[in-house]
Structure 1
Amino acid sequence: MSATARKSAPLPDDIRDMKGGTPIVSLTAYTTPMAEMMDAHCDFVLVGDSLGMVLHGLPSTLGVTMDMMIMHGRAVGRGVKSAMMVVDMPFGSYEESPAQAFRNAARIMAETGAAAVKLEGGVHMAETIAFLVARGVPVMAHIGLTPQSINTLGGYKVQGRGDAGAALMADARAVAEAGAFSVVLEKVPATLADEITAAIPIPTIGIGASAGCDGQILVVDDMLGLFTRFKAKFVKRYAELASDGEAAIAAYAADVRARSFPAAEHVFGDADPKSNA
């Protein structure tokens, strides 16, 4: 399903049907202009709770709220036409009970226009995933490194090495059986990611996993070099916009202090007060 061939955004079932085919392309998006830039190139865009760190300066995703996700979801929704939009459910919005998860997922979808929500967790979240799917809420699952659980995982560590691989495989099978239409595998050893991809009937979306996954996702600010607080091993920088932007700001500041900006072409004359030229 190429971006150029589509006339409308795919639905969750379309993403599910891409299992084993052309790799699924995805990035995170948080603003309308960024969503517009990636719309023609991505199969789906994720309004990720990573916005708390890359846009709001939070130390983790734990402080992100429903209102923040909805605000950014609305912004991204204005910028996508060809790509499907998925919105993260923030920490504390779904863990208490399936009923709580449904209320908040329904609010996200109603107020943003998202086609699906994403939530973190494997076996222990299978009941909630099934509850949501049965009530018309498509769910993208997320297993492996789950950033909302860093305090119990002991930090941003690779998940599923050694004997822990069996538990991660069980998580993948559980979310697939519960009705998730796809699953993000984050920071999982490549061999295990390939085994999971072969074992389950829904697409795997890798981030720090394997090129053998059914698709890939990155945080757009990481990929563009806008977020520079740290760089994960799995990030490939396709640009260095932070350094380019700082250089541009420094040049602007120098021009202002030298009174070389604004120049004549940037100011208005008084010959015709009705003209904007």
Structure 2
Amino acid sequence: MRLTLGISPCPNDTFIFDALVNGAIDTGELRLDVVHEDVQTLNEWARAGRLDVSKVSYGVVPAIAGDYALLRSGGALGRGVGPLLVARPGVDAFRPETMRVAVPGRDTTAHLLFSLAYPGAAHKQFRVFSDIEDAVLGGAVDAGVIIHEGRFTYAAKGLVKLLDLGEHWERQTGAPIPLGGIVARRTLDRDVLRALERLVRESTLHALARRPLVTEYVRRHAQEMDEAVMRQHIDLYVNDFSVDVGDAGGRAVETLLDVYARMNPASAGVRRDVFL
């Protein structure tokens, strides 16, 4: 059986899926056709039902939960892992009513966390995450929300942190931060869905057993080519929650669904049974 799989080129995703997509674990009769895209593109494709299995932002899950179920393995969730709001030096406060801010995609968890912190932001520009630092540095925007490798590189590029949006989430909710998860079509056979969940977990454990190894597959797709940054990225975003979300992770996702519902009162009722 062949299925399409979409993941981002970020080191945490390629680290987790390396064994699964490159034959290091036995997948039986299951074969995966892999595409690498930024997470907002994957969010949009999930809205359109384009792929069988995909990494997505937890921020888009309420919109796609009728068609896709979340797997309990393979995601990014934790404490101290959230996006950052950054600006050029000299900006000591973000004024959401007047300042322009670049955000990595309308459906991203980063956008949800930014909107929770600054509900009055009136001048948002949605950009590919890898373009945001340059947009801030070049003056195209006044501030930017950075994710992924940007967390480790912004200071060296001359940017300053205005707010850790993940810390704000944790203060407001008390919950870990659900950044991104793996979803699969609900129309797939139940046995196939269970096999996928098992294989993603096995691939994650395979990678963790070899940490701190950075494989050629991870290096080939990384946006930031410094291997030390790749290791930092993996160490931050791949953890016990990536093996299985567990009870604490499940409650964090429920919290996100509650926040989404409060922030989007006009939306239809949010589905609660989002996990497989």
Q: TM-score range by the shorter chain?
A: under 0.3
Look at both structures and tell me which one has the larger radius of gyration over its CA atoms.
1
Structure (1/2) with the larger strand percentage: 2
TM superposition score normalised by structure 2 = 0.28
TM-score, length-normalised on structure 1?
0.28
